[in-house]
Structure 1
């Protein structure tokens, strides 16, 4: 047994991640600064003095009686503590990494005086916490560096087994990944659609024939086609990167909630839609196209690259509106990777057929012949872009409270557009440059049926139906002018009465919400309820999806109505602040003059993010009670998230009663 114990002791690893150094420095007559410097190993963190009860053990100092000296003020710590949410303790904590110095000022006239006592501290890593420990000290006040040490005597023998995650600021990475994937998929679908446009589809046999005839062997033809396809990808991805470089990452992040950007997007999409419908063509200068065509005659890789460049330029009259629409969508997502990723999806889908047909030329025999159906593809895409354009117009309308497009008017516009699309696919409507449809192909019939189904799905929305499937694209139900209940404001919404900004905003599902941070927080403290801080926006599609798909769940809705104080802060609202409320941001140094700018600045300042939706659960004391959440349609996870705030409020009430 003794041998086993000795063996275990020999191989045991004792963690000593904090090393202390003590020093006293004379800073004025009879006054000294005694410093306690902690050097913290990488991966560990030491807790600050300023922690609330119920969490980890804060660093603290206990000084013995000083018969010939007196303490001046309290112990200070530098640098300032970092802040983050700790999942295990369920609270926001303050901590230090790498190195921190605690300082106590001492006044004495006795050169032989010693400052004695003990300091208590606790350290954690991303995997574990060490038990609270103390370090005794005996420092000659008038001396120089006299001692150093590390944790020696434990305050208690209970082993801490809970793994405490390192506190970090919350980020909406999951939502960001979801948006980027959506941009790539949208780009890929757009590239497939572009392949069937009149200015690209007829060029496929010619291009493939060029590769096969120009190349001496099949392998050379395949290699040339691969280079051609990669060149197309490089050209379009380069365009996406150029957009990011021109606008900058910050401008792209602001675009999603910018009224000016949304109004510009509306105008751009209208131009693209009418171009596809045949009103005019968007073309590039002919001299530029001819110049690229001349360079394509060069041999080797350079010639193939300029062949791809020429295709991009010649087909711009068809692909331009699609590319523009895709870039508008990518920019509106607020991600600086969006334009490049969207262009990668687009170019990959566009280049893939050229490469595959060059590898397998026999597949060309199975392609449908060119004809009037190619123009039908353009018209259908034009009608879809026209419908999409009104989404951006509603964003501006809501942000400035113009009241131009209510939810039911928006639905009327979409019902008309998609009805026309269905009739066009059925051959009942024909534009001047269309060929006559003598018979319907099976794909055309299926598309017409899908369009009719979607159109009929929209109709109940005119009478107040939530239409959860597309709720993120629609104006809020609070803008509904007519419902079956006849209340004129949407059957599931009501304005909050007696609250600041009442009438400007409306919460869904009859939730009595606040729209001012300070007002809502004061009310939560008064009634001892947790707060759901909802950073949202008029133009936030994912916010509407969360409200329609998650907030409407009975369990979630019950908690929001009965157990929470909801504070919804619209970061893109353009209502001006009063002169007394305007200020300059300490983070961005920008002038804050609107409601939206105020709440956006609050989100960036306190939570270090500017993404929406962003949900924070606060206890009645205003401190975070759970890790913040972003866009996630998992109802059970959201319910658990809300329960953490409810439990924090109950604990707070128990503590108040005990006191």
Structure 2
């Protein structure tokens, strides 16, 4: 279904790259004076509609982040802090399985400096960045900042003209203006609203799960009985029940507000990719899971409950409020782990998410108390308390245990330590969900379980569901994409065996090991990372070349590989009838000193492997978009109908490949 939806959306925005240089970003630069020795170097980008530029803070393994370089700083000036950005947008990318931070329409970057050499008059800086729409372009831009002349009596800088430049020119401009504020991630209103609704629904389900635990469920009839006996009439009973429910909501909303106030609306959001943050919550969720599974109980001091209980006798709204607080304290051993998990997830979203999360949780918790107190007759329909409540609690423990490894996985991905590759993560999940299934079938018993003579139909259905999910996970060990779980396990490439368990590293149809400058990529394809090496191999095996201009951070390149190259017939053609050469234009590996040069086409310094392939693409094919695919003969001449770019039409792509192969023959 996901693939069909992707194809439908892609047809709407179908795009075929033409042989032309695309330049959707225009740059301006200026200098802002702070004091006689301190200045702000400001770089402003004007971005064409529908294009977006990625922030320098975009997480690893995602799109290419912006990168700044300031030249000849030693002895001339000092950088004060890092480059600050104007507010950017944040959105989860299910292709890269990370959040991506990007700018639309405009972006401002500011670097504060302190001049240490009074003779310096100019400062040079550059930015490498990626700009994307249906295709991605890796660009760089050089800035030359002209520092104003300083005199002893001078206090302000005379405004000068700001020149608008393209990405291929050198902007020189100065102008006094207000310093740029520190970057803060923002979301579009629609995106933020969607995220808050997701948090609310998840929290509501969490509240409902907490309701079905042995610490909370038995308190429903006790509370209803209290309101029924203490109220003088039905109207007062209903009013007190509503106040009680509102009191529960108020208590948990205050908790969410405290989290937001203490940590700040975006502080935990910024920590969401922090290694220590994720490790702490990994151990915290393991602790919660152990509690739910019966190792121990998390309880607040009894003195707290006794003091609150005495205050509940005061009557009126204050008394009812303390009754609700007593519920929160007494039930903490069951609700605490759920609240903790929800707050971690909600707070990592930033903004109002912790408050919205607690509204959802408390609403689910409060509604049954309110409704059964208002309509006591419904009590007869409630199931009796018993061992099934502990089953719910233990089931939540298994879920907590599985979720804990998501935090550990994120820490591992950030450090690229490969301690928890995809296979190990999936093996752990298979073990956890398999044990949960055995527990539900009654084959495993835990400390607080009652003796089980049979299992209920509901428990059987739940056991079958968990078992099915466990079986679904198993093919992931052999390279299955597991798209239902997109974003939870590590990505496919983060594996001990990217081809899946038992995958072979031999070159298809030759029996040889991988040639020099070649590597295996998705779907078992062999690609060459060097143009000359790939062409030499093509001559050796007498096959045409599929030249692929791509990038590590190119989202649409990955989409083409995932949804078009994965087609059985297309994959067969790529493996057997062509030699694939993939040139990564964002590869940061530095060229040897004797291979560095200045581009005759753009005048830019070519210092990295990515620079080299980008300049090669621009010089030979007069375009700078990725992905771009060309079919070449053994002399490097283009055959087939020119080049093609991002186009999810599998049949069209296959026909284009077959046409090129036929012309080669």
Q: What is the aligned counterpart of 2:464 among 431, 449, 459?
A: 449
Task: Please say if 1:351 is aligned against 2:361.
Answer: no
TM-fit CA distance, 1:306: 1.0
> In the alignment, which of 274, 279, 286 is matched to residue 258 of structure 1?
274
Query: Of 504, 520, 523, which aligns to 1:487?
Result: 504
Contact persistence 1:199–1:315 (CA under 8 A)? yes
Change (3 A) 1:528 1:453: closer
Q: In the superposition, relative to structure 1, how do residues 512 and 217 fare at CA in structure 2: closer, same or farther (>3 Å)? A: farther
Q: Report Cα offsets for 1:210-257 as digits up to 9, x if no partner.
A: 112222222221111111111111111111111111111232221221
Residues 24-57 of structure 1: CA distance to partner in whole angstroms, max 9, x if unpaired? xxxxxxxxxxxxxxxxxxxxxxxxxxxx999999
* 1:430 aligned residue (437, 441, 445): 445
CA distance in 2, matches of 1:234, 1:345: 12
CA distance in 1, matches of 2:491, 2:437: 27
Cα separation, partners in 2 of 1:564 and 1:329, compared to 1, 3 Å: farther
Deviations 1:586-610 (A, max 9, x none): xxxxxxxxxxxxxxxxxxxxxxxxx
Q: Among 215, 219, 229, which residue is 2:235 paired with?
A: 219
| Residue 334 of structure 2 is aligned to residue 318 of structure 1 | yes
Against the structure 1 CA distance between its residues 377 and 93, is the aligned structure 2 distance closer, same or farther, given a 3 Å change threshold?
closer
The match for 1:294 is 310
Could you say which residue in structure 2 is the equivalent of 1:305? Answer: 321
1:622 positional shift:
9.2
Q: Deviations over 1:290-318 (max 9, x none)?
A: 22212111221111111111100110011
CA distance in 1, matches of 2:528, 2:256: 40
- Label 1:83 to 1:267 Cα distance change in 2 as closer, same or farther (>3 A): same
Structure with bigger gyration radius: 1
Q: What is the correspondence of 1:563-642 to structure 2 with a 5 Å cutoff? A: none
Q: Would you say the 8 A contact 1:204–1:354 is kept in 2? A: yes
- State the partner residue of 2:225: 209
Are 1:379 and 2:394 an aligned pair? yes
Judging changes above 3 Å, is the alpha-carbon distance between structure 1 residues 171 and 210 closer, same or farther for their aligned structure 2 residues?
A: closer
What is the alpha-carbon distance in structure 1 between the residues aligned to residue 302 and residue 552 of structure 2?
55
> Within 1, Cα distance between the matches of 2:428 and 2:253?
35
Change (3 A) 1:288 1:93: closer
Residue pair 2:527, 2:582 contacting (<8 A) in 1 also: no
Q: Per-residue CA shift, 1:599-649, capped at 9, x if unaligned?
A: xxxxxxxxxxxxxxxxxxxx96799xxxxxxxxxxxxxxx98999xxxxxx
CA separation in 2, counterparts of 1:57 and 1:411? 46
> Does 1:330 find its partner at 2:346?
yes
Q: How far did 1:393 drift?
A: 0.8
1:472 counterpart SS class: coil
Q: 1:530 to 1:274 in 2, by over 3 A?
A: same
Q: Does 1:553 align with 2:563?
A: yes
> Corresponding residue for 1:395?
410
1:29-86 superposed Cα distances (whole Å, 9 cap, x missing partner): xxxxxxxxxxxxxxxxxxxxxxx9999999xxxxxxxxxxxxxxxxxxxx99783433
Deviation at 1:475, TM superposition (A): 1.2
Instruction: Check 1:498–1:171 CA distance in 2 against 1; reply closer, same or farther (3 A cut).
Output: farther
Does 2:253 align with 1:237? Answer: yes
Distance 1:406 1:498, change over 3 A: same
Cα distance in 2, alignment partners of residues 253 and 513 from structure 1: 39
Q: Distance in 1 between matches of 2:354 and 2:623?
A: 42
- SS of the residue aligned with 1:473? coil
Is the 8 Å Cα contact of residues 289 and 310 (structure 1) preserved in structure 2? yes
1:393-419 CA distances to partner (integer Å, 9 max, x unpaired)? Answer: 111122212222221111111111111
Runs of at least 5 residues in structure 1 that lack an aligned partner in the other structure:
1-51, 59-78, 96-168, 515-526, 537-542, 571-576, 578-618, 624-638, 644-659
**Alpha-carbon offset, residue 196 of structure 1:** 0.8
Residue 543 of structure 2 corresponds to none
Normalising by the residue count of structure 1, what TM-score does the alignment of the two structures yield?
Answer: 0.54
1:480-501 Cα shifts (integer Å, max 9, x gaps): 3342552379x9xxx99979xx
Cα distance, 1:551 vs structure 2: 6.5
Q: Deviations over 1:77-120 (max 9, x none)?
A: xx99783433599998789xxxxxxxxxxxxxxxxxxxxxxxxx
Quote the Cα distance in structure 1 between the aligned partners of 2:214 and 2:475.
Answer: 37
Distance 1:384 1:555 in 2: 36
Report the 3-state secondary structure (helix = DSSP H, G, I; strand = E; otherwise coil) of the residue aligned with 2:48.
Answer: strand
Q: 1:248 aligns with which of 260, 264, 271?
A: 264
Q: 2:479 aligns with which of 464, 481, 490?
A: 464
Q: Is the 8 A contact 2:406 2:489 kept in 1?
A: yes
Q: Distance in 2 between matches of 1:209 and 1:641?
A: 66
Selected match of 1:419 from 409, 434, 446: 434
Preserved CA contact (<8 Å) 2:266 2:350: no
Q: Secondary structure at the match of 2:392?
A: helix
Q: Residues 387 and 217 from structure 1, CA distance in 2 versus in 1: closer, same or farther, beyond 3 angstroms?
A: same
